Amino acid sequence: MRMTQQRKKILNLLTESPQPKSAEMILNELPDHTMNLSTVYRTLDTFFEQGMISKSTMKNTAYYYINQKDHHHYMICIECQKMYEIDCHLDHIADQIAKDHHFKITHHDMTVYGYCEDCQKRLAEK
Ligand SMILES: [Zn+2]
Ligand SMILES: [Zn+2]
């Protein structure tokens, strides 16, 4: 994969972001306006295929974040969209499954969806 200036900018934005970002958020934060939304999406797709980033989907919008070695996943409230970072406990399980199936893993993806405590309470009161 060629690391163009544009790709580097998007990758830097994601690296520096404490929270997952949607393609629209990334587009809005790019300093110059040389890219359009479909370029951003294409770039994100490429990163995703290369295993450089992960994504979580909420209300039909994908949110992207950097895949690190000691990476995190996210737990997302589907009501208020609050995101919680959770540690990855999947690597050793995935390794075992891969071994059983002679599968070579490049990366994985995991998001936990549900209702946060506040939303559970609010929904219960309705
Ligand atoms: Zn919530
Ligand atoms: Zn993981």
> What's the CATH code of the domain at 88?
3.30.1490.190
* Overall domain count for the chain: 1
| Nearest ligand to the C-alpha atom of residue 109 | 2
Domain range for 64 is 5-125
d(C-alpha 83, C-alpha 25), whole Å = 16
Query: Whole-model pTM above 0.85?
Result: no
pLDDT interval class at 69 (50, 70, 90): low
Q: How confident is the model at residue 47 (pLDDT cuts 50, 70, 90)?
A: very high
Ligand 1 center to 82 CA (angstroms):
6
Residue showing tokens 């050793």: 92
pLDDT digits 0-9 by tens, 15-43? 998 889 999 999 999 877 778 999 999 99
More confident position, 120 or 74: 120
Q: How many CB atoms lie within 10 A of CB 103?
A: 10
Instruction: Sort strands 61-66 and 72-77 into parallel, antiparallel or unpaired.
Output: unpaired
List, as one string, the DSSP characters of 45-104. HHHHHTTSEEEEEETTEEEEEE--TT-EEEEEETTT--EEEEE---HHHHHHHHHHTT--
Q: Which helix (H) or strand (E) holds 112?
A: strand 111-114
Q: Using the mean position of ligand 1's atoms as its centre, give its distance from the Cα of residue 76 in Å.
A: 8
Q: Are 1 and 46 in contact (CB under 8 A)?
A: yes
Strand partners for 86:
73
107 compared with 41, residue with greater pLDDT: 41
- Nearest 5°: phi and psi at 72? -115, 160
Distance in angstroms (rounded) separating the CA atoms of residues 121 and 126: 9
Ligand that lies nearest to the alpha carbon of residue 119, given by its number in the listed order: 1
